[in-house]
A and B are shown apart, each in its own frame.
Chain A
């Protein structure tokens, strides 16, 4: 029952966070300089008045806030004035596919590669291999993903001509380069994290026992050790998602992928209020939900956390 309470509490926090974010974005958008209309200077005062009435912008801020909140509850995100007057929900839903595919691919590739790199690093701690792996993890963390993306374009698309340089029209082949560019940061994070965990695990009694039984080094690390080293990795899924969101903005732009990130940047540059607010909320919801899932997962896997949570 305590676990049920724990989930309820987390849900309450989630709602508080979301309410706060939606209010803040609404307030900020209202005080923004600039106008939501294209070619604003060409509009006469009468035309502008009519436009304001049509889109409900002539109402007082308090009333608009209530309309906005009730719209949100119904899944109505408003209308994008800059991109063909279509509903934002429609605009975004047509673009969410590529973003999710790219994000999931990058996360999968980054985590798996990071786990392998980190485990090997820990197996041969302080050797040449370890230094090499740690150094590549630091370089992966240091080189900004947009520079890495351009490097990939130059090598694999321009020079070698193996893969398409941009766009999202060649099936899986066109997803390879952006995935690689996006996966480098999660890989470096996961590698560093797994290395620390794995060193601890490999020094534990059960790893010694496995060694005494005559198990091979690889088997001890990957079969016995990895399971335990992986549990704490769940905690970095949250920060990793944030990193991927940030990364997707720039990677989607460089590779001209019709995703949420590319739309977000376009909307910022053109003052498209409704879309900016919606993407902001979308990102926040995603992060908050992922944090919630991580907390629940962690509680399920490791009962000690659950107890500590209940005691507070």
Chain B
């Protein structure tokens, strides 16, 4: 055996070093921490300034609305006729229209002096024709609008997801049958259903919520069904089925988490439309009934006198617009953040 060959066969021990037992783990290690679906969505949402600001505004509005259950400036339905039709008065503000002065025949007049309101009594947003405090009424109205929106969204979720999941998952004849029913219902304008419901039940929160629940779930059911049809062909669903997981568990553990993105988006679009519908119905006088305040009834009352007592119309209108714009901006932001198609 030649010397060279020997040296190849006999590699000195010093040339070796013990293998790293964690080598595999190191090679497989991902450089960045893994991000869950929600973290990813949240990260995208944070980049959208308008959506983040809207989110904060909504948190503040919801907080104030909830807090006003216990801390309301005055009873929203308490009438005090001597103090009727007072303009807003905010202590320390010296802008006409906010300092207790109102325009009467082109002259600014101190309404609080005229009504002999005692010193130290302020109505921040003024009062209505019965002397009820507008700020308290707006707070109560906001609460009603938000409550209706949340309830409508909840029913939308329950009925829409269940219908869509069953229709998409079962497929075949069940799917065709359920879709035909859905098509027929979709032919009825929402407005018609809402108005018919209001006629049967007594006008109020319940009838508005029922009406919105009856019509609102259609879009959700369609979206969920379409997505379920796609998802059920995926390998992980097949694996779960092969392992004998029940349909119910597949729906809860596999389908719904994967549907959550579109569900969130869809819900966020339901909420502003529910708020709009309540305001709309109350504005034309077939929604909430007096004396209960909602943003729609306040607008309805304010509209009748908006030339002479503009604050009664514009303040509730401003609150309603703020809520609507915030929800729509947030919904748009969430859609961009969670919709897989929007990812670059």
Let me know if A142 is at the binding interface, CB within 8 A: yes
| Chain A residues in 8 Å Cβ range of B191 | 242, 245-246, 249, 283
A141-B184 contact, Cβ under 8 Å, with A249-B191, A253-B284 = no
| Chain B residues in 8 Å Cβ range of A284 | 187-189, 192
A142-B196 contact, Cβ under 8 Å, with A20-B184, A287-B187 = no
Interface string of A262-287 (1 = CB under 8 A from B): 00110011000000100010011001
- CB distance A146 to B189 under 8 Å? no
- CB distance B195 to A280 under 8 Å? yes
Let me know if A17 is at the binding interface, CB within 8 A: yes
Inter-chain CA distance A138–B320, complex, in Å, is 14
- CB distance A249 to B284 under 8 Å? yes
- CB distance B279 to A28 under 8 Å? no
- CB distance A147 to B199 under 8 Å? no
Find the B residue at minimum CB distance from A138.
B328
In this complex, the member of A139, A144, A158, A249 whose beta carbon has the largest number of chain B beta carbons within 10 angstroms is A144
| Chain B residues in 8 Å Cβ range of A31 | 200
Inter-chain CA distance A191–B223, complex, in Å, is 23
- Name A's interface SS: helix
Inter-chain CA distance A147–B180, complex, in Å, is 38
| Chain B residues in 8 Å Cβ range of A288 | 187
Q: How far is the CB of B302 from chain A (nearest CB, A)?
A: 9
| Chain A residues in 8 Å Cβ range of B231 | none
Inter-chain CA distance A22–B343, complex, in Å, is 46
Interface string of A138-173 (1 = CB under 8 A from B): 110111101100100010001000000000000000
Q: How far is the CB of A69 from chain B (nearest CB, A)?
A: 18
- CB distance B189 to A242 under 8 Å? yes
- CB distance B184 to A265 under 8 Å? no
Inter-chain CA distance A254–B191, complex, in Å, is 18
Question: Which among B188, B299, B303, B325 is the interface contact of A21 at CB below 8 angstroms?
Answer: B188
Question: How many pairs of residues, A versus B, come closer than 8 Å at their CB atoms?
Answer: 106
A17-B184 contact, Cβ under 8 Å, with A143-B321, A154-B306 = yes
| Chain A residues in 8 Å Cβ range of B301 | none
Find the A residue at minimum CB distance from B50.
A135
Let me know if A25 is at the binding interface, CB within 8 A: yes
Inter-chain CA distance A154–B317, complex, in Å, is 14
| Chain A residues in 8 Å Cβ range of B200 | 28, 31-32
- CB distance B280 to A17 under 8 Å? no
| Chain B residues in 8 Å Cβ range of A141 | 328
Q: How far is the CB of B274 from chain A (nearest CB, A)?
A: 13
A268-B286 contact, Cβ under 8 Å, with A158-B307, A276-B199 = yes
Interface string of A21-42 (1 = CB under 8 A from B): 1001100100110000000000
Inter-chain CA distance A265–B307, complex, in Å, is 24
Q: How far is the CB of B147 from chain A (nearest CB, A)?
A: 18
Q: Count chain B residues whose beta carbon lies closer than 8 angstroms to a beta carbon of A.
A: 37
| Chain A residues in 8 Å Cβ range of B190 | 242, 246
Question: Which among B50, B199, B272, B328 is the interface contact of A268 at CB below 8 angstroms?
Answer: B199
Let me know if B324 is at the binding interface, CB within 8 A: yes
Inter-chain CA distance A64–B13, complex, in Å, is 106
Q: How far is the CB of A35 from chain B (nearest CB, A)?
A: 13
Name A240-257 residues within 8 Å CB distance of B. Answer: 242, 245-246, 249-250, 253-254
Let me know if B159 is at the binding interface, CB within 8 A: no
Inter-chain CA distance A254–B284, complex, in Å, is 9
| Chain A residues in 8 Å Cβ range of B306 | 150, 154
Q: How far is the CB of B87 from chain A (nearest CB, A)?
A: 17
Let me know if B122 is at the binding interface, CB within 8 A: no
- CB distance B196 to A265 under 8 Å? no
| Chain B residues in 8 Å Cβ range of A150 | 303, 306, 313, 317
| Chain B residues in 8 Å Cβ range of A158 | 307
Interface string of B306-343 (1 = CB under 8 A from A): 11000001000100110011011100100000000000
Let me know if A212 is at the binding interface, CB within 8 A: no
- CB distance A139 to B284 under 8 Å? no
Inter-chain CA distance A138–B188, complex, in Å, is 27
- CB distance A269 to B324 under 8 Å? no
- CB distance A291 to B321 under 8 Å? no
Q: How far is the CB of B291 from chain A (nearest CB, A)?
A: 18
- CB distance A146 to B183 under 8 Å? no
Let me know if B261 is at the binding interface, CB within 8 A: no
| Chain A residues in 8 Å Cβ range of B285 | 265, 269
Let me know if B101 is at the binding interface, CB within 8 A: no
Inter-chain CA distance A283–B299, complex, in Å, is 26
| Chain A residues in 8 Å Cβ range of B303 | 146, 150, 254
| Chain B residues in 8 Å Cβ range of A20 | 184, 188
Interface string of B266-295 (1 = CB under 8 A from A): 000000100010011001111000000000
Let me know if A308 is at the binding interface, CB within 8 A: no
Inter-chain CA distance A287–B215, complex, in Å, is 15
Inter-chain CA distance A250–B287, complex, in Å, is 13
A-B contact pairs, 23 of them (CB 8 A): A17-B184, A17-B187, A20-B188, A28-B200, A31-B200, A32-B200, A135-B50, A138-B332, A142-B272, A142-B321, A146-B299, A147-B299, A150-B306, A154-B307, A242-B191, A249-B191, A249-B284, A264-B195, A265-B286, A268-B195, A280-B196, A284-B189, A287-B187
- Other 4 A-B pairs with CB < 8 A, given A28-B199, A287-B187: A138-B329, A142-B324, A143-B325, A150-B317
Interface residues of A (CB under 8 A from B): 13-14, 16-18, 20-21, 24-25, 28, 31-32, 135, 138-139, 141-144, 146-147, 150, 154, 158, 242, 245-246, 249-250, 253-254, 264-265, 268-269, 276, 280, 283-284, 287-288, 291
- A-B CB proximity, top 5 nearest: A17-B187, A142-B324, A142-B325, A142-B328, A288-B187
